[in-house]
A and B are shown apart, each in its own frame.
Chain A
């Protein structure tokens, strides 16, 4: 079909806009690389692990304390949020009466919309003192894990809910016809059928937890150290960037961009994996 002249002009404009939208990601990668180049050029990657400490002004770039803080807090939050999120989705889909189910779903959606800085503030004022009473100082890995759990729980709950909604109704009817109990139906039929969607949701949530900044920054204490217990203060990769960007210059600044690049790559791998899983489900 041939297009009129007005249409051809419109199409050219639209193509330009779409190209611009698509190029932003490349621009981000390009600028992260450009800014981290002064350090990447002369410091072998291994030194980010083997250096004695994180003193970027003196040329020491050990990122392991931050890497492990990010790893532990993400792992802890995913471990807590997974059962809670799955239970939330199962609750609103199979257990709650319709009125309560709608209310509960709305609550989870609201929870998803609360800004991270509010979670962080609440954690700092309310949760940290409570945990501090258990074991000082209160601002700790544990507090960070709990706040992160709250923040990623809606992601898990909403994706699992969508995955459960996509389970073919024939499966559910078949299970009911066989006389399975409600829990038998959920654990034996619905959850296994929604498996890949559930895993994708967990991976997405993990990606969110790794990239989260303010919530953890405000409650985890931000001491650069290898955590030995749940009550130690830690500083995650994201918090490190947010805290030091304000005054970093030269190679220090470049080192922060390196950690930004590392963060972006980690999240990309996770998002890519989740997408593959989603696609698998679409075709099976």
Chain B
């Protein structure tokens, strides 16, 4: 019996410890980041290597990198997921090979993506340190997440849809466009949001692909500094950059929190619809 009481105490203690550290981290960033945060901070260009001024161009670069990553990865991921879930038997060799290689891709460390992106996109394809290189590198990185969520969404679509469409003599492509994809839409969107979140949090893969330049990019072939890279640079390489690093970290966390919440509410709504439609 004493063992039971001891275990209860210990487990509550550990949970309190974990929550405590988490609250410490968040409140620290909130307290130090909030004072500098303003519309001007979000819009202005960084000055004096980022010690003063804002993060306007950096937000633009971040969004452009995300745009490139998602515009590339979303169609590719969707097509792969449709093939795996609608046109391939689960035990076919091709399907198994594709799934296996995606599992491996999901485990590759981000710094290795950085090395690959540098060697392939920047140098081999000649894109240089650019928003395009960074975005494409991130596209490779988020592909497994997109495919897994899209596949789950499609597999959860009621089988009646497929049978009814076949009975009506609809081509598979029409059934896909008019029935299956709309029914899986919230899951697809939730997956997209998760991918955006993962891409936005990434630093190591971007340092030697999209680079450090903190000016407003003129084209996708310009180097652009992502928000996470900005935080890294301010805290490691710029003495006296801590205040602005705090605010940038706060902006990054807030953006991620918003994206995460949207993803979760979409997933929940989708789950609800699934339960109700049965």
- Residues of chain A at the chain B interface (Cβ within 8 Å): 3-4, 6-7, 10-11, 13-15, 17-28, 31-32, 34-35, 83-84, 87-88, 90-92, 95-96, 104, 107-111, 113-122, 124-126, 150, 153, 181-184, 186-187, 207, 210-214, 218, 238, 241-242, 245-246, 256-257, 260, 263-264, 267-268, 270-271, 275
Contacts and interface: CB of A to CB of B under 8 A. Distances in A.
A22 B84 CA distance: 12
A122 B143 CA distance: 29
A154 B108 CA distance: 19
Nearest to B109: A211
Interface string B169-182: 00111101000000
Given A10-B173, A214-B203, A115 B111 contact: no
A181 B112 CA distance: 48
B235 A17 contact: no
Interface of B: 1, 3-4, 7-8, 10-12, 14-15, 17-19, 21-22, 24-25, 28-29, 75-77, 79-80, 82-84, 87, 94, 97-98, 101-116, 118-120, 124, 140, 143, 147, 171-174, 176, 197, 200-204, 207-208, 228-229, 231-232, 235-236, 242, 245-246, 249, 252-253, 256-257, 260
A122 B27 CA distance: 11
B109 A210 contact: yes
A206 to B, nearest CB: 11
Nearest to B73: A21
A145 to B, nearest CB: 14
Secondary structure of the A side of the interface?
helix
A25 B140 CA distance: 9
A122 B14 contact: no
Nearest to A104: B15
A195 B8 CA distance: 21
B79 A13 contact: yes
Contacts of B12: 91, 95
B22 A107 contact: yes
Given A218-B235, A268-B107, A21 B242 contact: no
B111 A21 contact: no
A242 B143 contact: no
A31 B143 contact: no
B171 A124 contact: no
Contacts of A3: 171-172
30 contacts: A4-B171, A4-B173, A14-B80, A15-B83, A21-B77, A21-B98, A21-B101, A25-B104, A26-B101, A28-B108, A34-B119, A87-B11, A91-B11, A114-B256, A115-B200, A115-B202, A115-B252, A115-B256, A116-B201, A117-B231, A118-B231, A121-B231, A122-B29, A122-B249, A183-B4, A186-B7, A213-B111, A245-B115, A245-B207, A245-B208
Contacts of B1: 181
B267 to A, nearest CB: 12
A83 B14 CA distance: 9
Contact of B111 (A96, A126, A211, A275): A211
